[in-house]
Structure 1
Amino acid sequence: PAVSLLKAAAPGSFLVRRSSSFPGAFGLALRVGVPPPRATPRAGDPQEQLVRHFLIETGPRGVRIRGCPEEPYFGSLPALVLQHSITPISLPCTLRIPHAELQEEPPDPPGPPNVSTAGALLRQGAACSVLFLGSVGTEALTGPQAVAKAVGSLLEGAPSAGGSPRPPPSPVHFKVSAQGITLTDRQRKLFFRRHYPVSSVTHCGTDPQDRRWTNSDGSTARIFGFVAKQAGVPGGGNACHVFAELDPEQPAGAIVTFVTKVLLGTRH
């Protein structure tokens, strides 16, 4: 079924389904632009040779494409898909994520019940762990300028709006879905859970000045943030919520791209 669904699709189109041969694993069927270099011509539809198959194995460390040493582990299937839509790594081409499928309507085209289209997979949402550095009010400012201002304020150790010292950074669970962004404080020190509806989020990006967060072991991590309208604040305004990478397998660039495609992309 995957071959018949993909053979006429654009290069980069793909389907994910549970593997019948390897319990617990998933199969990735990918439409490529040209046949493999050493592919042996077969009788039948030549378009079918443009559909390649890969195995996604699962384990304690997460999911990864099997048989390729350069492939990292990912915390979820959506995270694996998102990263491979940015860079192919071991795949013949990047995965193509159609914006149209990210809408609630129209529904996904009919297909085998064990097959996930790109849009359906990403609508499940993806989560990662990041270091929450703090939130900074940016008034009417949004976009990259708001991120730059907030990062500068936090790195300089400026106090919070009330004048009290800012609490230390805390690891949080960062989930993106079609409904918005949800933060869960893993240690429950700063808050329990905060949700930012899709309608409130106006921008997400890495620090325009590429400043880095320095960890206790001396290593550094990229910084990113998202800007959201403040609810229940007199006069309104925006706030920029700033984070640093916590896991090298969940880079800031991939998180920003996921937010842009899945969350902000639904508005177009």
Structure 2
Amino acid sequence: MHVSYINLLAAAICRSGSWRSIGIRATSYRGLCNSPDSFEKISTIIRDKCENVVVMAGAGLSTPSGIPDFRSPKTGLYHNLQKYKLPYPEAIFDVQYFIDNPMPFITLAQELYPGEKYRPNLGHYFVRLLHEKGKLLRMYTQNIDGLERLSGIPGEKLIEAHGSFSTASCIVCGDKHDPEAVKKTILAGKVHLCSCKGYVKPDIVFFGEQLPGKFWLHNLDAIAADLLIVLGTSLEVHPFASICDAVPYRTPRILINREVVGSLGLRDLDHVLVGDIIENINKLAQEMGWLDDLIALQKDNENA
């Protein structure tokens, strides 16, 4: 390949910010994905070279726990709500639509309430183990299922960028409500009412609502991080996705995902593991000598 063409290609990638937007993948350009020494290199970085790890996680971390993603045809959560004839799938997270017809969200909440149906998987416990080893600076998650909390990741280490079921508020007056009382009402298939007669919902971020104030810690965490790990996300939802490119160029980035996403694979210190997330985390923990600790942590937490 002619040098000038390589330079033009690199420039196009940098301008677009994505391998996908110009129709190529990082694998075809650098061959970084799952190379024979990938697990050894990554394990050395995590085990021996890092003390301030930032983790980003999306729906792909929760699907091994049995939670459907939102958009998959026939199996996604949006598809499963077709009986409500939503005007568009995302209406379920629209405040005005919730006021007019709260039942689609109530049905979704019944499915996703933490601890009711789904349990954390090995991926969640891997992040918890990073904390136990004194390496986790912060975990940022797009997920609203609460599995990170259930795995034992402390609240001060966890940023639930799209909100959670752990608190609840009135959408009219803003008053806080007992989340357990709200949970009981929703699991009974009803809408919790405030004294002002407004609807109360868990503090899941709906379209048009502000992200939790803690989310903006990422501006500081990105600078302080000495490693970024990206787990199970398409990096298509902003501003969450911007964290990935906010870390300095010389900060190593590790992607563990079904496919290459965003700009991962573009930087010199990027490492990419594609394929089954749990399988790759298992292999990685084994390479690091952490597998026994990881399994014990999961077992102890499930039996607690």
Same fold flag (TM > 0.5): no
TM-score, normalised via structure 2 length: 0.21
Higher share in helix: 2
Report which of the two has the higher share of strand: 1
